[in-house]
Amino acid sequence: MRIVLLGAPGSGKGTQAKLMIEKYGVPQISTGDLLRAAVADQTSLGMQAKAAMDAGQLVSDDIVLGMIRERLSESDTDDGFILDGFPRNMAQAEALDAMLNSLGKPLQLGLLIDVDFDVLMQRLTGRRTCESCGQMYNIYSSPPKLDGQCDKCGGTLHHRSDDNEETIGSRLRVYENQTSPLISYYRNQGKLRKVQGVGEIGDIFTAVNKVLADMPSGGEAPVAEKPAAAVSSPAVKEKKESKPKTAKKKKASKKKSTKKKAKKKVSKKKTTKKKSKKKVAKKATKRKATKKKAKKKAKKKATKRKATKKKAKKKATKRKATKKKATKRKATKKKATKRKATKKKATKRKATKKKAKKKATKRKATKKKATKRKATKKKATKRKATKRKR
């Protein structure tokens, strides 16, 4: 089994690959996993890849192709492999074909897991992976029984750093621009098959298994994608001529029969030609209709995508406005508090001043009283002295 899993980030390639490993015993090769391991181990390759990964951009082809070449040379891939997240652009797809063809093990299938654009965003933001066993969850659609803990092994659930709204946006754009052309690439090779990636995981896996059951053993096109084999026309039984009576008659009759045969042959050729012309025309009409349908679908998808984008923008603007309002409210509150504090301070200052004034007035009155008392005393003393003199 030598297959490539195609699909946007969040389409469920990893989940299906895990089920395929269990059933078919071939390894899954995920360039995303390999790169994340390199980043975690802080290898020089990981350091080089980190910035692009954090930005949701593609890591350079050199790095990824080197990694794939090395991985495919390992013996566990002898009986096949499931490539997940690789190739991601035309150059990688062509390099992979060259690599596999030179090994005499051409790719058998490009399996597309098709999911609508707007479903992807929720899937990606809610995605959680067990750090220990790799089991995947989604907090919206398939949450674990205990928050942040793996049902299977009890391991801690991890939220990928590039599964945030901003990075997801650019990853989806990168898919649209660089990876989705690979769908046509494999279709043109007759190797493309598609399953709908929405619904129960088990049902999707059943559809995947059906496709895999039809998979050819070599690198030839899968049965459903193969053009229908030309049906050989049954031999035309010639009518036996009645026996000629004389040799001359016999000869003439033979000549006639040959002529008739030739005529029939020409007519048959003409019919076949006509038929094949009709077939070609029919095929062209069908192709045209399919193209039209695909165009319509793409247009619908684009409109939907645009609407989603518009919605997201509107949401962001609303969020911004709410934030601005909150900031303004905070600032107004702060100002009011400050004003209150200033007023309180001024009142306090006034009270202190009033108190001081009162104290001063009291002090003055006391002093005045003392002066008065002194003057009275002096007067009394003077009066006493005058009396004594007399």
For residues 195 and 208, is the Cβ–Cβ distance under 8 A? yes
Encoded tokens for 107: 């790719």
Q: Please indicate whether residue 171 is annotated as part of the active site.
A: yes
Element (H, E) at 29: strand 28-30
d(CA 172, CA 270): 53
Considering only 20-28, 48-56, 207-215, 222-230, which stretch makes contact with ligand AMP by CB under 6 A?
48-56
Question: Of 168 and 204, which CB lies nearer to ligand AMP in the complex structure?
Answer: 168
Considering only 81-89, 198-206, 312-320, 374-382, which stretch makes contact with ligand AMP by CB under 6 A?
81-89
For residues 191 and 222, is the Cβ–Cβ distance under 8 A? yes
**Closest distance to ligand AMP from the beta carbon of 138 (Å):** 15
The CA–CA distances, whole Å, from 321 to 313, 327, 331 equal 12, 10, 15
The CA–CA distances, whole Å, from 224 to 1, 123, 185, 187, 189 equal 17, 31, 17, 11, 13
Position among 2, 18, 88, 123 found at the interface with ligand AMP (CB under 6 A):
88
Q: Which of 128, 171, 191, 193 is catalytic?
A: 171
Q: Please indicate whether residue 363 is annotated as part of the active site.
A: no
d(CA 81, CA 29): 7
Position among 2, 7, 9, 212 found at the interface with ligand AMP (CB under 6 A):
9
Single-letter amino acid code for the residue at 301? K
Query: Per rule CB under 6 A, is residue 18 in the interface with ligand AMP?
Result: no
Cα angle 27, 33, 36; round to 5: 155
Q: Please indicate whether residue 13 is annotated as part of the active site.
A: yes
Question: Of 11 and 222, which CB lies nearer to ligand AMP in the complex structure?
Answer: 11
Q: Please indicate whether residue 160 is annotated as part of the active site.
A: yes
Position among 17, 29, 39, 58 found at the interface with ligand AMP (CB under 6 A):
58
* Closest alpha carbon to 114 in 336, 298, 314: 298
Query: Per rule CB under 6 A, is residue 11 in the interface with ligand AMP?
Result: no
What are the DSSP E strand ranges found in 248-312?
none
Comparing every residue's Cβ against ligand AMP, the nearest one is: 32
Position among 7, 12, 46, 85 found at the interface with ligand AMP (CB under 6 A):
85
Query: Per rule CB under 6 A, is residue 82 in the interface with ligand AMP?
Result: no
Handedness of CA 70, 74, 76, 78 (dihedral sign): positive
- Window 155-174: residues binding ligand AMP (CB under 6 A): 162, 171
Query: Per rule CB under 6 A, is residue 53 in the interface with ligand AMP?
Result: yes
**Closest distance to ligand AMP from the beta carbon of 25 (Å):** 22
Chain contacts with ligand AMP (rule: CB under 6 A) = 9, 31-32, 35, 52-53, 56-59, 64, 85-86, 88, 92, 162, 171
Catalytic residues: 13, 88, 127, 160, 171
